[in-house]
Amino acid sequence: MKKYIYLVLLGTFWSCSSETDDTSYTPLTDIRERELAGGATTVFSVTSFAFETPAPNLVGANLEMHLAGDAEFENTFVTAGSPTNPGLGPLFNNSNCVACHPRDGRPAFPTSLKAPSGLLYRISAGNSTSQGPLPVPGYGTQAQNQAVIGFQPEMEYTVQWSPVEERFADGTVVVLRKPVFSYRNEYAPIQQIEISPRIAPPVFGLGLLEAIPEAAILSRVDESDSDGDGISGKANYVVNPESGNLELGRFGWKANTSTLRVQTATAYHEDMGVTNELFAKDSPLDGFADDPEISPLVLKQVTLYSQTLGVPAARNLTDPKVQRGATLFNQLQCAACHTPKQETKTASISALANQTIWPYTDLLVHDMGPGLADGRADFLADGQEWKTRPLWGIGLTKVVNGHTNFLHDGRARNITEAILWHGGEGRLAKENFKKLSKTERDELLAFVNSL
């Protein structure tokens, strides 16, 4: 059990927190560097294309492969036997990558959990810290709620909402919505099941996160909280199904996948039922005769595509309101998990190597309290732990995807709600946030929206 320290309050700061004069913040000195959120991969777009543009420093064969991967990312798969893109299912969640990752961003919380959507359930019957989630017999580790004709979906997803009230120090009330997920119409009896509902995250900038040296990530681990700030941070180690090795997890909401190649191969296999080099059988059923259903080249192209989407530049950083928000972001302890700056070193794609980047994540998992818990352990990440979400590009979600639904299951309807859901190691940051005046909250939001 972790103990949280709530008393480390920033006395001097709070005594003047009602003022927002020019002495209450430290002006940003590194504006040009911060603007280049993805280093040389930064894209200067504030339109709905902001997440779907190749890194501008990508050239030659890599750029060609990216463009081929782009087309594959949008290909809709259909039932086996079709001349184009056969192999969908028999069980699946959706029929193409972009349906779940719209414009390489994220979907809103779905209006129907029955229709194909960008929300899926990871499932398990227990967990082994060295082998990962244990499959639910007959179901595996993901519940497919769609099936091709002649097959039955594994289950239907359902959700009910319950209200959770939060009150700011100034009296303002926010009513959060807490989703309670369950299933029905399961195709076979289930003894034990843990369910982790997850929504598709944005997919830009990911090759940069893959190229951050492991040692740099591990340097922020503080599992026993030796510096006493109430924040620990843990690295997740997960099996790479191709090599069988345990590797540092970087992708997925619980850092449950180590490489973009594995993430891509798993997406084809589990999300769409499309077999490939890594996963040769349509699980849990026997494979069809035409396995694998995509070639090794397609897997390579789509993997490279997900590694090389450019990162949108930060905006409005010279605005004093945004700069005051940046100071608050540090004072509230947001930056203790949302690590502003990282560096990449070696990368097989030279465009990604040696870049100074501003992802606002430590890539570690943190206990976020019972409110966000899924109760489903995933390797070393327990049922309350989640990976710190990168915040780069978050302010463009509305313009790219037309909504502001955040967090692992899309429950938050805006950034304020996302912060108010922080508990566990994030509880102190949330409590500090609730003490802010309206003006200060707007400044913090202006900063987060500038990313």
Token code pair at residue 443: 């400044």
Binding of ligand HEC by 253 (CB under 6 A): yes
Question: What is the per-residue binding string for ligand HEC in 225-244, x denoting contact by CB under 6 A?
Answer: ------x-------------
When asked if residue 195 is in the footprint of ligand HEC (CB under 6 A), the reply is no
Nearer to ligand HEC, 189 or 396 (CB): 396
Q: Quick one: tokens of 119?
A: 């929300």
Stretch that binds ligand HEC, among 51-59, 99-107, 152-160, 168-176 (CB under 6 A): 99-107
In the complex, minimum distance from the CB of residue 188 to ligand HEC, in angstroms, rounded to a whole number: 22
CB of 189 vs ligand HEC, minimal distance in Å = 25
State the Cα angle at 121 between 120 and 122, rounded to 5°. 120
Footprint on residues 117-146 left by Ca ion (CB under 5 A) = 139-140, 144
Q: Whole-number minimum distance, CB 28 to Ca ion, in Å?
A: 25
From candidates 273, 340, 390, 410, binder to Ca ion by CB under 5 A: 273
Asked if 260 is part of the footprint of ligand HEC (rule: CB under 6 A), the reply reads yes
Spatial CA neighbour of 36 closest among 415, 344, 320, 305: 344
The torsion angles phi and psi of 176, rounded to 5 degrees, stand at -80, 160
Give the whole-angstrom CA distance, residue 335 versus residue 302. Answer: 32
Pairing outcome for strands 342-343 and 356-357: antiparallel
Q: Which residue from 33, 35, 225, 431 is in contact with Ca ion, where contact means CB under 5 A?
A: 225
Which residues of this protein are in contact with ligand HEC, per CB under 6 A?
73, 93-94, 97, 99-101, 118, 120, 122, 198-201, 203, 206, 231, 251-253, 256, 260, 263-264, 267-268, 271-272, 302, 306, 332-334, 336-338, 366, 368, 372, 386-389, 394, 406-408, 415, 418-419, 422, 425-426, 429, 433, 448
Site residues, Ca ion (CB under 5 A): 87, 139-140, 144, 222, 225, 227, 229, 231, 273, 282
